Amino acid sequence: MNELILSVEDLTVSFDGFRAVDELNFYVEKDELHCVIGPNGAGKTTLLDMICGKTKPTKGKIRFKNYDLTHMLEYNITRAGVGRKFQNPSVYEDLTVLENLEISYPRKRGVLGALFFKHGTDIHKEIEGIAGQVYLADHLKTKAGQLSHGQKQWLEIGMLLMQDPELLLLDEPVAGMSSREREQTAELLKRVAKGRSMVVIEHDMGFVREIAHKVTVLHQGKLLAEGSMEKVQSDPRVVEVYLGD
Amino acid sequence: MTPEILAMQAFNGLSLFTILVLMALGLAIVFGLMGVINMAHGELMAMGAYTTYATSLLFEKLMPGLMPVYFLVGILLAFAVTFAFGFALERGLIRFLYHRPLDTMLATWGLSLILQQAFRHIFGPKEVGVPTVSWLQGAWSPAFLPDAQFPLSRIFIVMLALLVSFGVYMLLFRTRWGLKIRAVTQNRAMSGAAGINTERVDAFTFALGCGLAGIAGSSFTMLASTGPVTGQQYVVDTFIVVVFGGVESLLGTILSAAIIGQLQSTFEYLMTGSMAKASILLLVIVALYFRPNGLFASKVRR
Amino acid sequence: MGNGVTAIKDESGRAKVVHVSLVERLNRHAFVILAVLLLLVVPLALSDFRLSLMAKYLCFAFPAAGIVLTWGYGGILSLGQGMFFGLGSYMMAMFLKLEATQADSSAQALAQFFGSNLPDFMVWNSVEELPWWWEPFHHFWFTLPAIILLPALVAFVLAYANFRKRVGGVYFTIVTLALASIMAIVIVGQQGVTGGINGITNFKTFLGMDLFDDGMRTKLYVVTVLLLLAAILFGRFIVSSRLGKLLVAIRDREDRVRFSGYDPALFKAFIFAVAAVFASIGGALFTLQIGLASPSLVGIVPSIEMVILAAVGGRLSLIGAVYGAVLVGAAKTLFSENFVEYWLYFVGGLFMVVVIFLPQGLAGLLDRFRTPGDKGGQQ
């Protein structure tokens, strides 16, 4: 077995008595593209929320490399090398694409650093490079708020790339995209996955089949099945839960 | 510290509490339920007080024989006037600023300045007082504490506040209209889809909050005289009470008013009035630091 | 290029020649225009009396500019800047008062008569000895840094503690309201050591120079303008830096900024501290010019008035804050000279009108006159 980059153990969280995630064990290997699927309300987004620090678990442990993420603050988790993309594209609408990417540059995050930050040619090259990867090279000066839904998703992925995380958490990266955009995103993610570990939540099974190394199925906060896409799709419990994919 | 003084001291806290409760309930409805920050809330209280004052003048001039009744009429009129004003205010100004709480604060602050000046113009810069009606003059001494004096007027206010609080509770939780209010404030879109006229409910809810301030003002006349800036003096306290109680909880508001009211009169007994006020504000800010959502924060799924 | 014409790139990357409106050109040179107006035009055009009035208006441009930074860019509405204005004002007043007490012959006489060398109001209030926290203000080398550092420290700690706890915007605003109220109450209540409701007054000299002669007035005007221009430049530097963009990001999506690896509380506290320093400097200059420090500039009412100055100018415009301060200040003088009673109607109406119809203030009005060749944004 490959080296583990993320290990989640016995993870539980309840909201007012409702167990959104129930004693879940979840492991991600280094350089693995690991998809998480399951019906609505299965706890997928909540799982990512807890890994990146948005929600605090009631029980359990989350280990990333040699960090214990369980009780860390969000920005420290990000600095440790975890990047999160949200379900609804979360970009800084009033800033341009360039500025969005620039902000995501993973250095100089203190007050003085930010105040005296010089936008040198190195950084600009890097920004242009990443903008190119996410198909936004021509839109550097466009305000993020003016981008289309799909472009905003790409921008957010671009912002993550700028941060250069070792573990990417993507929540429904192709939601609301046209089929052409989905193809482009699949390309993008396969490129991005090289040398990085990814956890991707998706509903589009075709997309999952195309990119996933490993698939985990969640149901009612618990792990239902795990393995390759073929193995999971033929698992009768999964079929039952999905009532036919 | 004799039992009499203790009792009277506690009662003082209680009567202060009732004013705070009425003011805070009104604000809690407006702020807690609707998310609107009406900085002119204090001026609405003053409006209620001034209305009562005007009623007393009217009765003195035209119906001196009916003076004993003027106060009750005054309270009703205070409610009516402030309710109507609140209704107009919501329709004319507030509803354009619903998603901009900070802007609402500033705009209503501007309104409060205008109202203060208007009071000055109409009623003069000096404070005015109302005569205590005959049946509220004097004090009551309970049999078991013959040396303690509890002014009848204050007892009346306490009763009134209890009655009004109860009335508000009944309205919100036992009537159809109250149901509509709660529905709209919790889920506007669905309520609209269910056929509720959300605009009318908004106007009514806001007006109700203002009307409560009016009643508070009316009661206030029994405790002290009213001037153009009286409202402004209470507005910060009222906000603090509401925030401390937990903005979305009416029960929290009442408890908060009780605690703060009692603390205030205790402090006033121990130190000068201004230092008492300052200390209370400071204490509450510190408490808020530890519980930013107030005493009764509603549990929200993060 | 000149002559109102410039070149921009259109979508396909080709250069296009476009007319830039007068407004845009004004905007680009807004700072220089302001500097010229304040340093050349105004002193020549106004009488000494009006010039000193102008200097007083400009003192309020400091807190207004600070509010532009915290509110316009940071999304933090402070309704308590009077606190910091008051801190600067009172610290300067303490220094001036101690200087006057030691230098002034009538104060000496008073001291000998009462057997103490304390400031007059302390003597009148039977205060026995100078409180320890007055002592350091004997020295200018303490007072000047204190005017800058103390409000910064207080503001930073207050804001960081609050924002770390993720206390929402509205609650923080109410806290600033309450704190300003508390400070005013305490100052008035402790009149033995603060001068009470009358404030601290009766000083004549500053570092040996007579405060009230004409030459001094002009010097104070120039110093005020220079400091104000410096403050604006500093503000601009912040806004155009990465920190400025971060503030905008925090204002719009604070949660997301955490996932970009930043601690938003740090930056919000920083900008709040900057605004506090601005307000404090304004307060100190004001005391120098008016010869008194008063609690009437500390509480809720003056604090909220400072916000309207920023709102009138345009909450995203530092230079607008200066114009806002001057316009509203001049209006106040006008009203108090002619129609005292109507001032509150005017200011109240101004609040309502600006908030409802002109959320971007005067600067926003100017924005409407831009043509396609103009860059967006305000200065």
| Sole residue written with tokens 């007393």 | B56
Token pair in block for residue B222:
């029994």
Averaged pLDDT for residues A178-202: 88
- Tokens representing A185 are 């995103």
What is residue A53's DSSP assignment? T
Which residues on chain B are in Cβ contact (under 8 Å) with C71? Answer: 102
Q: Give the rounded distance of the alpha carbon of C254 from its chain centre.
A: 26
Closest-approach residue (CA) in chain A for B302: A55
Report d(CA B193, CA B195) in Å as an integer.
Answer: 5
* Range list of β-strands (E), C290-374: none
Residue A196 CA from chain centroid, whole number = 12
User: CA of A233, closest CA in chain B: separation in Å?
Assistant: 33
DSSP run (H or E) holding A215: strand A214-219
State the pLDDT confidence band at B24, using cuts at 50, 70 and 90.
confident
**pLDDT score for A244:** 47
Q: What is the pLDDT of residue B215?
A: 93
Rounded CA-CA distance C288/C143 in Å is 13
As a whole number, the mean pLDDT across chain C is: 84
Question: CA-to-CA distance for C379 and C364, rounded, in angstroms?
Answer: 11
How many Cβ pairs within 8 Å bridge chains A and B? 5
Place of tokens 């987004």: A45
**ipTM score:** 0.88
Of the candidates B107, B113, B243, the beta carbon closest to that of C355 is on B107
At C270 the pLDDT is 95
Pairing, β A167-171 against β A197-201: parallel
CB-based contact C355 B103, cutoff 8 Å:
yes
Q: Which residue of B has its CA nearest to A17?
A: B301
Cβ A215 vs Cβ A35: under 8 Å: yes
d(CA C219, CA C213): 10
Look up residue A236 and give its amino acid: P
Does residue C155 form part of some domain? yes
CA-to-CA dists, residue C22 to B231, C2, C249, angstroms: 48, 12, 31
Number of domains in chain C: 1
pLDDT number for residue C116: 57
Domain extent for A200: 4-242
Among B114, B93, B118, residue whose Cα is nearest residue B36: B93
The 3 state secondary structure assigned to chain B is CCHHHHHHHHHHHHHHHHHHHHHHHHHHHHHHHCCCCCCCHHHHHHHHHHHHHHHHHHHHHHCHHHHHHHHHHHHHHHHHHHHHHHHHHHHHCHHHHCCCHHHHHHHHHHHHHHHHHHHHHHHCCCCECCCCCHHHCCEECCCCCCCCCEEHHHHHHHHHHHHHHHHHHHHHHHCHHHHHHHHHHHCHHHHHHCCCCHHHHHHHHHHHHHHHHHHHHHHHHHHCCECCCHHHHHHHHHHHHHHHHCCCCHHHHHHHHHHHHHHHHHHHHHCCHHHHHHHHHHHHHHHHHHCCCCCCCCCCCC
Q: Is A117 in CB contact (< 8 Å) with chain C?
A: yes
pLDDT number for residue C38: 84
What is the number of domains present in chain A?
1
pLDDT tens digits, A216-228: 988 888 888 888 8
Residues of A in contact with B302 (CB under 8 A): 54-55
Q: Is residue C374 part of a domain?
A: no
pLDDT for C357: 84
User: What pLDDT is recorded for position A159?
Assistant: 92
Taking CB atoms and an 8 Å cutoff, what residues of chain B touch A54? Answer: 302
Q: Does B96 touch chain C (CB under 8 A)?
A: yes
| Alpha-carbon gap, residue A137 to A128, rounded angstroms | 6
Contacts of A16 in chain B (CB under 8 A): 299, 301
Radius of gyration of chain A from its Cα atoms, rounded to whole angstroms: 18
pLDDT in tens, C184-204: 999 998 888 888 888 888 888
Decide: B241 and B16 in contact? Cβ < 8 Å. no
CA atoms lying within 13 Å on the CB side of residue C248: 21
Cβ-Cβ contacts under 8 Å, A15 against chain B: 301
Q: Do C258 and A106 touch (CB under 8 A)?
A: no
Residue C35 within a domain: yes
What residue has token string 């703060």? B260
Q: Is the minimum CB–CB distance between B288 and chain C shorter than 8 Å?
A: yes
* Inside any domain, residue C376: no
In contact, A108 and A162? CB cutoff 8 Å? no
What's the rounded Cα separation, in Å, for the pair C180 and C283?
A: 14
Cross-chain residue pair C167–B236, CB shorter than 8 Å: no
d(CA B86, CA C205): 53
Q: Do C359 and B103 touch (CB under 8 A)?
A: yes
User: Around Cβ C377, how many Cβ atoms within 10 Å?
Assistant: 10
Are C283 and C298 in contact, with CB atoms under 8 Å apart?
A: no
User: Among C296, C306, C299, C285, which Cα is nearest to C92's?
Assistant: C285
Please tell me if residue A159 touches chain C, with a CB cutoff of 8 Å.
yes
Of B251, B260, B257, the C-alpha closest to B297 is B251
A54 vs B299: CB contact, 8 Å cut-off?
no
Residues of B in contact with C175 (CB under 8 A): 285, 288
Kindly state whether B251 is in contact with chain C, defined as any CB-CB distance less than 8 angstroms.
no
Give A145-181 as a 3 state SS string: HHCCHHHHHHHHHHHHHHHCCCEEEEECCCCCCCHHH
Distance in Å, alpha carbon of A101 to nearest chain C alpha carbon: 10
Distance CA C188, CA C194 (A): 7
More confident residue, C264 or A175: C264
We report the CATH number of the domain holding residue A216 as 3.40.50.300
Residue B181 main-chain phi, psi, to 5 deg = -60, -50
pLDDT in tens, A41-53: 788 899 999 999 9
Of B106, B113, B282, the CB nearest to C307: B106
- Residues C322, C329: Cα–Cα separation, whole Å: 10
Q: What is the pLDDT of residue C108?
A: 62
Whether C111 maps to a domain, the answer reads: yes
C95 found inside a domain: yes
Residue length, chain A? Answer: 245
pLDDT in tens, A78-104: 999 999 999 888 899 988 999 999 888
Q: Flag whether residue B299 sits within 8 Å of chain A, measured between CB atoms.
A: yes
**Using N-to-C axis directions, what is the helix angle for C82-103 and C300-313, rounded to 10°?**
120
**Which of A 97-116 lie inside 8 A of C, CB atoms?**
99, 102-104, 106, 108-111, 114-116
Of C88, C95, C107, C89, nearest to C207 by C-alpha is C95
Q: What is the spatial distance between Cα A14 and Cα A24, in angstroms, rounded to a whole number?
A: 13
CB-closest option in B37, B114, B121 to C170? B37
**B195 has a pLDDT exceeding 90:** no
Structural domain boundaries enclosing C66: 5-21+30-367
A103/C246 touch (CB, cutoff 8 Å), yes or no: yes
Q: CB distance C351–B106 less than 8 Å? A: yes
| Type of residue found at A74 | E
> What pLDDT is stored for residue B299 in this prediction?
43
Buried b (16+ CB within 10 A) or exposed e, C23-54: bbeebeebbeebbeebeeebeeeeeeeebbbb
pLDDT digit string, tens, across residues B84-129: 999 999 998 888 888 788 888 889 999 999 999 999 999 988 888 8
E strands, A72-147, where? 82-85
In this structure, is residue C188 part of a structural domain? Answer: yes
Please state, in angstroms and as integers, the Cα–Cα distance from residue C41 to each residue in B13, C34, C54, C230, C334, following that order.
60, 10, 12, 19, 21
In-domain check, residue C224? yes
Question: Which residues does residue B140 pair with via DSSP β-bridges, in sequence order?
Answer: B150
The number of C-beta contacts closer than 8 angstroms across A and C is 79
Q: Which of residues 98-127 of B touch C (CB under 8 A)?
A: 101-103, 105-107, 109-117, 120-121
- What letter would DSSP give residue A118? -
* Over residues A50-63, mean pLDDT: 90
Rounded Cα distance, B26 and B210, in Å: 6
Which of B165 and A169 is assigned the larger pLDDT?
A169
What's the confidence (pLDDT) of residue C341? Answer: 81
Question: Using CA atoms, how far apart are residues A139 and A150, in angstroms rounded to an integer?
Answer: 13
Residue C252 to residue A103, Cβ atoms within 8 A: no
Burial B180-190 (b: 16+ CB within 10 A, else e): bbbbbbeeeee
Average pLDDT on A54-74 reads: 90
Single-letter residue type at C295: P
- Distance separating alpha carbons of residues B22 and B46, to the nearest angstrom: 13
What's the whole-number mean pLDDT along residues A109-132?
84
Considering only CB atoms, which chain C residues are within 8 Å of A53? 258
Phi/psi of residue A87, each to 5°? -60, -50
Given this model, what pLDDT does residue C89 score?
95
C14 CA: distance to closest CA in chain A (Å): 13
- Shortest Cα distance, chain B CAs vs residue A55, angstroms: 7
What residues in chain C have per-residue pLDDT under 70?
1-27, 103-117, 367-379
Please judge whether B302 and A16 are an interchain contact, meaning their C-beta atoms are less than 8 angstroms apart. no
Note whether A75 contacts C245, CB cutoff 8 Å.
no
Touching partners of C (3+ C-beta pairs < 8 Å)? A, B
**Which residues in chain A touch residue B299, judged by CB atoms under 8 angstroms apart?**
16
In this structure, the strands spanning A59-64 and C209-210 are: unpaired
A57: closest chain B residue by CA: B302
A86 vs C: CB within 8 A = yes
Q: How far is C116 from chain B (nearest CA, A)?
A: 27
Per-residue model confidence (pLDDT) at position C328: 92
Rounded Cα distance between A47 and A12, Å, is 9
Q: Which of A16, A54, A55 sits opposite B299 (nearest CB)?
A: A16
Contact flag C167-B97 (C-beta cutoff 8 Å): no
Q: DSSP strand E in chain C: where?
A: 5-9, 15-19, 205-206, 209-210
